[in-house]
Amino acid sequence: MTPLEPANAKPSPFLEFDAQEWSEFRADTPLTLTGEEVTRLRSLGDRIDQQEVERIYLSISRLLASHVESAIRLFRQRSRFLDLHGQKTPFVIGIAGSVAVGKSTTARILRELMTRWPESPKVDLITTDGFLLPNEKLRAADIMDRKGFPESFDRRRILDFLARIKAGERNVEAPVYSHSVYDVVAGEMKVVDQPDILIFEGINVLQSSDLPRGGDEVPFVSDYFDFSIYIDAEEKVIEDWYVSRFMKLRQTAFRDPEAFFHRYSELSDNAAQAVALDLWTRINLVNLHDNILPTRQRADLVLHKGASHLVDRVSLRRL
């Protein structure tokens, strides 16, 4: 199959495919998720269904399987070369993209598909939300309105977590975040114990940072990734998804009196929509422009979604 190559297109590190072309790379990969399971796995407002899993995600699963198999073969060859004995460290997949673009759904779908490979690998999923600085520290630094920006994360803790994972350590702890209270849960941890594959999902995972002096530290979170995926959509489309999700949360999670955003559940529809647009324009859109979108070209695979939440274009980095 010949990928999409527009006439007079400038050189690109990516091969481009439309959704139909991409779906054919599924080959004989079996569909192992039921419609009910897909519904359970998708995020609020996401319209992914079993047909979309079959059309797009089975090809991704097959591609990832080939990368994991190649990494295992290389590990075995290196072990023979160095006369080493031991277990291969986890294959790490990073998933990035804007707020409300569907990263969590993609991560959960891929996790379920991979756990059902014939080898039944152990697949863990961690999000970067837990590595946000606690609200107390954000307020002290006067950056509460920049939550989700690079400076709001404990980058050193993220790098330490991934270093321990890649070193093959057992029982590595990751902090837990509550979207209801909008804060890190003090003292609560998720334990990651030598998975075969780790999915690390968050808006900032492909972002660069200041280079450390001395050359003794790993500079980028993505340096620990074996494969990375960026979820993409047009700016106005993401805005619509963000506002729509906000309005739906007013009828669900925000109604909890303990929820951080409970006050928004009592607003009129017009007032709530104005708040959502303000949050999008003043915070999330700025973060998208300044920090998230510039990382798109660093990904190995870019999934572009249309207004329907369905993938309409796939970009795969050339080898």
- 63: containing domain: 14-317
Please check the confidence at residue 209 and state whether its pLDDT lies above 90: no
Q: Is 162 helix (H, G, I), strand (E, B) or coil?
A: helix
pLDDT in tens, 140-179: 999 999 999 999 999 999 999 999 999 999 999 999 999 9
Please check the confidence at residue 8 and state whether its pLDDT lies above 80: no
Average pLDDT in the 39-54 region?
91
Contacts of 214 (CB under 8 A, 6+ apart): none
Please check whether residue 1 lies inside any domain of the structure: no
Total domains, the chain:
1
Please check whether residue 200 lies inside any domain of the structure: yes
Please check whether residue 307 lies inside any domain of the structure: yes
Read off the DSSP letter of residue 134: P
Please check whether residue 204 lies inside any domain of the structure: yes
Res 219: pLDDT = 82
* CATH number, domain with residue 74: 3.40.50.300
Q: Locate tokens 């004995």: which residue?
A: 85
Please check whether residue 303 lies inside any domain of the structure: yes
Query: Could you give the CA distance from residue 90 to residue 194 in angstroms, rounded to a whole number?
Result: 7
**pLDDT band (50, 70, 90) for residue 98:** very high
Please check whether residue 63 lies inside any domain of the structure: yes
Q: Could you tell me where the DSSP H helices lie in 83-180?
A: 103-115, 135-140, 155-166
Q: Is 155 helix (H, G, I), strand (E, B) or coil?
A: helix
Query: Could you give the CA distance from residue 38 to residue 240 in angstroms, rounded to a whole number?
Result: 23
pLDDT in tens, 214-261: 887 778 999 999 999 999 999 999 999 999 999 999 988 898 998 999
DSSP codes joined into one string, 22-86: HHGGGTT------HHHHHHHSPTT----HHHIIIIIHHHHHHHHHHHHHHHHHHHHHHHHHT--S
Please check whether residue 206 lies inside any domain of the structure: yes
Residue 127, strand partner residues: 201
Please check the confidence at residue 2 and state whether its pLDDT lies above 70: no
Please check whether residue 168 lies inside any domain of the structure: yes
